[in-house]
Structure 1
Amino acid sequence: MKRHLLIGFSLFFLVLLFPQRTIAQALPEQKSEKSKQVKISKAADDLSKSLNENDESKIAQNYERLANEFLNNGDNAKAEEYFKRALNSYTKLKLTEDKTRVTRSLAKTQENQKNFDSAIKNYEVAGSLAKDISEEKINLNDANRLKNQSNPESQKGYVDSNIELLKKEKKSQEVTDAYVQKAQNSLELKDKKVAIESYKKALVYAKDKPESVIKIKNEIAKVYAEDNQFDKAVTINEKLLAEAKTNKDYNTEIKQLQSLASLYFQKSEAEKAISSLKQAYDLSFQKGNSAEAKKSLSSLIKYYKTKGEDKESMALYEQFFENFEKLIHSDTTLIDAKTFQITEDKIRQLEKEKTLKDELISKKNTFNYFLIGSVILLLLLFTFISKALYSIRIKNKEIALQSLRREMNPHFIFNSLNSVNQFISENKELEANKYLTSYSNLMRNMMENSNKDFISLDKEVEQLKKYLDLEHLRFEDKFDFEIIVDDSLDAERVFVPNMIIQPHLENSIWHGLRYLDQKGFLSLRFDFKNGKIIVTIDDNGIGLTKSRELKTTNQKIYESRGLNNTKERIDLLNELYKKNISFNISEKEGAEKGTIVEIVFPLIDKI
């Protein structure tokens, strides 16, 4: 018999040692508790799917959802674990609003576990992340409230501030929690009246959440009991008991019976207390709730032991032992706990796989970034080299242009000096002096503009007039000339190519007009038509055909080189400045002799 009892007690204490948190997760036929377990299982399954899909956004949402389910179930440790995982995911996704919300939830779970240092830190972080000033203030109030744990009077102001702020934000659940905090703060200040008022205000905001209502009403009953107002406390518990029976909320019914028993013991109504405990014990057995059966049985045995009624204790134990196997089989919370453990193990495995996938993706991305960076670097290098080559090419063209422009000067200088020599040889000192004076002025102007690709029209006309004056002085009897500028052209603001026109004037004089028996005429016109400037050099000289017949070999070579020089310079100007400059030389047809040179370029008002 003793051996039989020893085995029974061992089994009994094995049941008593089942963790309260794990066993109480779900109860058969109790809709609220079963619903909680279903929600937790559903959230865990959805989390597994999102991990398998490696969808970071859904992973974060399901971590948070699972954490909230644990929080609603009173499992703060698990809630904290999954809130931290959700926070990591939201941080990766750089979702500040979600990070703020989850950080605050994390702080609450830590506060519930009395881990105040971590809770304060996370309330402050949530405040710093908050975009809304009101939300920032709410979090900082909670942080300051916890910092003043030893000073309930200081806490009061922070709680009241949060109540008003949360009301404006219309966050009913948080208003409920804030009023509960105010009630607890009032109890610390020994103000039970304000505590009960605060709990009642919390009930108004918790009306849509039956579980919160039950919890708050139980807290009100405790305050009445502490104030020795046992009848009021009993009335509250009896109403809760009646509602639980109506709703078939067996878990609440058991707990209300246990609470009533405690109150009856305090009122010295032992019979009523024992009756309530036995009802709670029997109901726990019927509904397979081993945790509550343990609690009720422990209270009964404790009472009988204090009264020395060992016979009654043994009778309860024998009843428990006889129904032990049935209780274990009917307690589905053990199966639910094991099922969830399997799911959680699967979640851990999927998390490891996700970590490996992320590492592979990270390495792949690193390689891709390196590759892209290398390509960009090569492109930049290529661009730099291309720009350098382009710059060198442009510079070379500018040098070539300057070289071609300077190539025209020696011949002009030679001809001019030859003219001076001719005047001197003919003892025409006055003409020689006059020529040298004009020549020096012209050369000064040419030197000043020698490094410019474009000069203003007024300077070009001035320079060309001085040149024609010189040539006219030398060939006085051979030609007259005129320069006409279109009135619509602003000579000071319009630019023309430098040293492009002069060589053609020189050709007209030297290879056309000077061979005439009578005096010839040279016309230089600047016309503006259809947005373009048309420069026309018109002479009535001997013409291109006759000129070629009279030229020496050296003259032909020079003329050919002069034309090529002009073409090359125009090509270079077009490449460098994109001005689309063109020129054409033609011989007059019919009885009239002479040559026409036409140079066309767009209106240029800035370089």
Structure 2
Amino acid sequence: MKRLSLVGIFSIFLFLLFSVRIAAQDSISKKKAVRVSKMSKAVKNLEKSLDVNDEGQIAKNYETLANEFQDKGNNAKAEEYYKKALISYTKLKLTEDKTRVTRSLAKVQENQKNFDSAIKNYEVAGSLAKDVSEEKINLNDANRLRNNANPAGQTNYVDSNIELLKKEKKGNEVTEAYVQKAQNSLELKDKKVAIESYKKAIAYAKDKPEAVINLKNEIANVYASDNQFEKAIDINEKLLTEAVTRQDFNTQIKQLQSLASLYFKKEEPKKALLSLKEAYDLAYNKGNSAEAKKTLSELVKYYKAEGNEKESMALYEGFLKNFDQLIQSDTTLINTKKFQVTEGKIRQLEKEKSLKDELITKKNTFNYFLLGSILLLLLLFLFIVKSLYSIKTKNKEIALQSLRREMNPHFIFNSLNSVNQFISENKELEANKYLTSYSTLMRDMMENSNKDFIILDKEVAQLQKYLDLEHLRFQDKFDFEITVDKDLDTETVFVPNMIIQPHLENAIWHGLRYLDKKGFLHLRFQYNNEKVIVAIEDNGIGLTQSRELKTSNQKAHESRGLNNTKERIGLLNQLYKKNICFTIREKELPESGTIVEIIFPLIDKI
């Protein structure tokens, strides 16, 4: 009955320990100072970066927090935060950071025996690596894990990584590689190489006291497994002495527990009990409830095996009597509770960030859609404007061609009249000569009929032929002359087509042919200040007298002819932006006659 009561008390104790550890935190004194650790700093920094939604800082702080969890041996939490860091680095397209975190993720997955995921991430890190050595290191780790069931097959990959990491001067990872070599050697039953590997790992972990302590403990464990208890005890006692000097109570407790285990294996229970009691008292007095529980369990286990129920009851009573005080003084519980609260806040901030990102994405999608729609409408508008401009330009070209062709029927009619006159006067030779010249002129005019500008040389030749024809008919009425400025290159300069001829025709038919004496027509092409000046000057009867002699039909035709010229010049200016000017004026008395001027810039290409 008494034995059952002890079991019942122990069960109640375990229940109280795990439930009250959390609930009792509400009664902890707020005045108790809590040391700010690296982890708490990382948490605060993460909160700030999440609050301002700074993706770059969020990624860094996730990684820092994951590193802290990994150092404390909490691989599950480390994996959680490495994955979050990886998402942010991927979003930011930071390949180097992504490579580093992917490798760290593989390590914590390996520590949790999740080998398939670890292999995959080592391979991903290798494919992302820019450096050949870094790629090789990751692929070695992937191949090492593939040979997990074959320790001998892992050796080459571990040795290769040790050499590569040394060259890359990655001290922390060299330490890890030597630990892997030690573990691999233990699986191969080569304890000597294992101990040497642990010692080499210690040499690369000098700046990390906790890592050195753990490595020395591993060496002690190897000695203990080989029944070399004195060597193992010597290591633990030295570590205990160093911990006492540093006032490192947690390490003191763990070393005392290790010494107790070694003494039990060495069959020295008295020394083992002394170490356990010392560890229990230290854990109890320093408020380390987890280690107090662990040590108490070992003591109870021993006393129960020895049948010493009285001593077990005394231990329970002492523990339960001051249980509340132990819980309140346990700073690890305070930090755990604090982190749980903080982690809850982190989760809330992550949700808020997710909502912000979603809103930003929707806003950006809408903005892109709106921008795309505006751009599409703008393109459509530009297309319509371009089409309208093209249609308008085409209409102007058609109008210009129409106006140009409008002059041909009148010229043809006058020319045929001339032929008819020669025939009626029995001047067959003149008629034949006229028709020959006329056909040549018409052929030239037809060839150039679709051009808005032609070379000056061709224009002069065409006008020469025309004036020769008119002179053949009115040879007793006028003489003519064409002069071209020597500064004008007749083979490269362009002039407007069919603009000059109608004014030559007007000068002959409405000015010179009414003279009682023989008149003179002068066509000049001058060059002045980058401009070409075409002057048509005659000494005929002039504009005023010419209008008085004209019939109403002739007046209408003359008006239409001038308007045709103005419209064509206007269309040429709109299409080619050449600023062509046209003027017509009567000479001042006592001279008679008309002067027509057409001025346009020097045109050397169309």
Q: Normalising by structure 2, what TM-score?
A: 0.90
My pick for the range that moved more, 264-273 or 386-395, is 264-273
Equivalent pair of 2:535/2:597 in contact (CA under 8 Å): yes
- Counterpart-to-counterpart distance in 1, 2:19 and 2:133: 45
Q: Does 1:176 align with 2:153?
A: no
| Structure-2 separation of matches of 1:440 and 1:20 | 120
- One-letter code of the match for 1:55? D
Task: Say whether the 8 Å CA contact 1:142–1:158 is kept in structure 2.
Answer: yes
Q: CA deviation at 1:356?
A: 3.1
- 1:12: which partner in 2? 13
Equivalent residue, structure 1, for 2:553: 554
SS in 1 for 2:492: coil
**CA distance 1:163–1:253, change in 2 (3 Å):** same
Per-residue deviation, 1:3: 9.0
1:414–1:335: structure 2 CA closer, same or farther, 3 Å change rule? same
1:417-455: CA deviations, max 9, x gaps?
111111111111111111111111111121122112122
Is contact 1:22-1:337 (8 Å) kept?
no
Q: Deviations over 1:236-268 (max 9, x none)?
A: 322222222122211112112222223333334
The answer for the alignment partner of 2:585 in structure 1 is: 586
* Of 196-205 and 338-347, the range deviating more from structure 2: 196-205
Instruction: Tell me how far 1:209 sits from its aligned partner.
Output: 1.9
Check conservation: 1:586, 1:597, Cα contact below 8 A: yes
Q: Distance in 1 between matches of 2:139 and 2:527?
A: 78
Residue equivalent to 2:576:
577
Q: What is aligned with 1:445?
A: 444
Partner of 1:370: 369
Partner of 2:117: 118
Q: Which amino acid aligns with 2:200?
A: K
Residue 483 of structure 2 corresponds to 484
Match of 1:320 in 2: 319
Note the C-alpha offset of 1:156: 3.1
The equivalent of 1:273 in structure 2 is 272
Question: In the aligned structure 2, how far is the partner of 1:88 from the partner of 1:549?
Answer: 96
Offset, 1:94: 3.5
For the residue of structure 1 that corresponds to 2:360, the secondary structure is: helix
Stretches of structure 1 that go unaligned for 5 or more consecutive residues are 29-33
CA–CA distance in 2 between the matches of 1:19 and 1:532? 105
Deviates more, 1:45-54 or 1:417-426: 45-54
- Show the counterpart of 1:565: 564
**Who is 2:197 aligned against?**
198
Secondary structure of 1:125's counterpart equals: helix
Residue 534 (structure 1) shift: 2.5
User: SS at the partner of 1:333?
Assistant: helix
The one-letter code sitting in structure 1 at the alignment partner of 2:522 is S
- C-alpha contact (below 8 Å) 1:36/1:73 kept by paired residues: no
3-state SS of 2:109 partner = helix
Shift of 1:590: 4.8
- Could you tell me how far apart the structure 1 residues matched to 2:189 and 2:487 are? 101
Amino acid at match of 2:336: A
Distance 1:209 1:570 in 2: 93
**8 Å Cα contact 2:151/2:188 also seen in 1:** yes
Q: Is the 8 Å Cα contact of residues 6 and 313 (structure 2) preserved in structure 1? A: no
Report Cα offsets for 1:553-576 as digits up to 9, x if no partner: 222222221121111111111111
Q: Counterpart in 2 of 1:50?
A: 49
- The C-alpha deviation readout for 1:362-418, integer Å capped at 9, x for no partner, is 333333333333222222221111111111111111111111111111111111111
Q: 1:76-155, aligned counterparts within 5 Å?
A: 76-155=75-154
Higher relative contact order (CA 8 A, sep 6+): 1
User: What is the RMSD of the two structures over their aligned residues, measured on CA atoms?
Assistant: 3.0
Are the aligned partners of 1:206 and 1:212 in contact in 2 as well (CA < 8 Å)? yes
Distance 2:547 2:135 in 1: 96
Give CA-to-partner distance per residue, 1:292-341, whole Å, 9 cap, x none.
Answer: 12222233333444445555444434443344333223223223322222
Q: What residue in structure 2 maps to residue 31 of structure 1?
A: none
Of 126-135 and 424-433, the range deviating more from structure 2: 126-135
- More divergent stretch after superposition (273-282 vs 536-545): 536-545
| 1:26-58 CA distance string (max 9 Å, x none) | xx9xxxxx9997333333333333333333333
Structure 1: distance between partners of 2:139 and 2:266? 44
Question: C-alpha separation between the residues in 1 aligned to 2:300 and 2:425?
Answer: 153
- One-letter code aligned to 1:124: E
> What is the CA–CA distance in structure 2 between the aligned matches of 1:151 and 1:590, rounded to whole Å?
124
| Contact persistence 1:488–1:528 (CA under 8 A) | yes
Q: Assess if the C-alpha contact under 8 Å between 1:217 and 1:236 holds in 2.
A: yes
The structure-2 alpha-carbon separation of the partners of 1:2 and 1:185, relative to structure 1 and needing over 3 Å to count, comes to closer
Deviations 1:468-513 (A, max 9, x none): 2212222222233333333444433332221122222222222222
User: TM-score of the superposition, structure 1-length normalised?
Assistant: 0.90
Residue in 2 that maps onto 1:283: 282
